[in-house]
Amino acid sequence: MKVYVDNGASTKVDGKVLKAMEPYFTEKYGNASSLHDFGRDALEGLEKARTIIAKKINASAGEIIFTSGGTESDNMAVIGAAYANKNKNHIITSAIEHPAILNTCQELEKRGFDVTYLSVDEGGFVDPKDVESAITDKTALVTIMHANNETGVIEPIEEIGKICREKGVLFHTDTVQSFTKVDINVKKMNIDMASFSSHKIHGPKGVGALYVRTGVKIKKLMYGGKHEFNLRPGTENVAGAIGFAEAVKQMKDSNVKHVTELRDKLIEGVFDSIERVKLNGPRENRLCNNVNFSYLGLEGETISTYLSMKGVATSTGSACASASLEPSHVLIAMGMKHEDAHGSIRMTLSKFTTEEEIEYILKVLPDIIKKSRRISPL
């Protein structure tokens, strides 16, 4: 049996998404800036896609900028806000952000900006009060992720957004993992900017979006034509945008319910059948598709390799960091010991995950853990 539970890294493209994209490769392949019929068809598709994404977060179409994915959106928000106001040189973020935020902040530090990296508690939560006390009159931006890619913890961004708005500081949130799994209402949550990625929600890779609230000024990263409201030059990836929007349309509340049930079955099953395990991240306020356990006394890589031999695709830490042997910066920030952090395995489910697949994992995993513990030098 082949079981894919690495949907936090990337997802299978939904068949309906593929179908919606196809005409934009074969018939409506014009450049959306061209004035002829082919161009007009492409532009019409692009604007329809923009409207669908905007509606999903209670924004206007003019506030959605298509990008190449979550990483570019994060860069655009953080660097764009940092350089937008000459009198401000301070950024606030958290220690558990994705590298797309953390490494961008570190680059800005090299360029002379001050960055505050807020710590988190044992559950992985940022305290909104810490955000409030870190804000100064030099703060250009607060950027705190909506949901963490490794532990699935859902941060209190509505409270953080309220604080930022009251203090007159821009608030950006990385919603790459939470989009379509947790409701996002940019107005109610006082969000000024938000990053999205298509390939985490059964859309194609290489497309994402940045929401920029009307009135928010950011400096653009790239120079060229006046595409995307003069913020992101380059011929638009129309088929990608269409696929992204179709993926959004195809993510239903019933999918969230299905995935939540499977997540809980998997969590309970691991607790029932395996000793010395620790669930990383909370039970409540956790993404519907995230199961992250540390198997104490073991290396995550060993477990992951054995699981892979049984056809089960999982990950240790975030995909972007999986080439590194460092323990997860997220688990370390949550106060976990290095050896326990090394023993973590992330399983991320999707709407295509089945009950049989979860049962299969629960059948093979206890034996793998037993066998690994027998031979582990730890």
Ligand X SMILES: Cc1ncc(COP(=O)(O)O)c(C=O)c1O
Active site residues: 320
Alpha-carbon dihedral of residues 364, 366, 370, 373, nearest 10 degrees? Answer: 100
Among 6, 174, 228, 299, binds ligand X (CB under 6 A): 174
Q: Does 155 bind ligand X (CB under 6 A)?
A: no
Give whichever of 11 and 372 is closer to ligand X, judged by the CB atom.
11
* Best CA proximity match to 77, nearest among 61, 93, 60, 53: 93
Q: Which residues contact 105 (CB under 8 A, 6 or more apart)?
A: 78, 91, 93, 97, 113, 115, 117, 143
Does 78 bind ligand X (CB under 6 A)? Our answer is: no
Should residue 176 be labelled a site residue for ligand X when binding is judged by CB under 6 A? yes
Applying CB under 6 A, the span of 88-96, 163-171, 173-181, 275-283 interacting with ligand X comes to 173-181
181 part of the interface to ligand X, by CB under 6 A: no
Cα separation, 271 vs 269, whole angstroms: 5
Q: Which residue do the tokens 């019929």 mark?
A: 37
Q: Nearest approach, Cβ of 153 to ligand X (angstroms)?
A: 11
In terms of C-beta distances under 8 Å and separation of at least 24 residues, what long-range contacts does 85-89 make, across chains too?
A: 85/140, 85/217, 87/138, 88/138, 88/139, 88/140, 89/113, 89/114, 89/138, 89/140
Structure tokens at 166: 């009251």
Nearer residue to ligand X within complex by CB, 208 or 240? 208
Residue nearest to ligand X (CB): 70
Which lies closer to ligand X via its Cβ, residue 241 or residue 368?
241
Q: Residue count at the site for ligand X (CB under 6 A)?
A: 17
- Binding flag, residue 208, ligand X (CB under 6 A): yes
CB of 99 to ligand X, least distance (A): 8
User: Does the footprint of ligand X cover residue 151 (CB under 6 A)?
Assistant: no
Provide the minimum distance between the beta carbon of 192 and ligand X in the complex, in angstroms, as a whole number: 17
How many other CB atoms are there within 10 angstroms of residue 229's CB atom?
Answer: 12
86-115 residues in contact with ligand X (CB under 6 A) are 98, 100
The CA distance from 274 to 365, in Å, is: 9
Nearer to ligand X, 76 or 266 (CB): 76
Q: Does 204 bind ligand X (CB under 6 A)?
A: no
Q: Does position 71 bind ligand X by CB under 6 A?
A: yes
Dihedral over alpha carbons 56, 223, 108, 157 (to 10 degrees):
-10
- 177 is a contact residue toward ligand X (CB under 6 A): yes
**Is residue 342 within the footprint of ligand X (CB under 6 A)?**
no
Does residue 208 sit in helix, strand or coil?
A: strand
Question: Interface with ligand X includes 69 (CB under 6 A)?
Answer: yes
Structural tokens at position 196: 């999205």
How many whole angstroms separate alpha carbon 303 and alpha carbon 316? 9
Site string for ligand X, 318-337 (x = CB under 6 A): xxx-----------------
Judged by CB under 6 A, the stretch of 43-51, 243-251, 285-293, 312-320 that binds ligand X is: 312-320
Are 85 and 111 within 8 A, CB to CB? no
Say whether residue 247 binds ligand X (CB under 6 A). no
Q: How far apart are CA 71 and CA 197, in angstroms?
A: 8
In the complex, what is the shortest distance from the CB of residue 313 to ligand X, in angstroms, rounded to a whole number?
15
Residues of this chain that interact with ligand X (CB under 6 A) are 69-71, 74, 98, 100, 145, 149, 174, 176-177, 197, 199, 208, 318-320
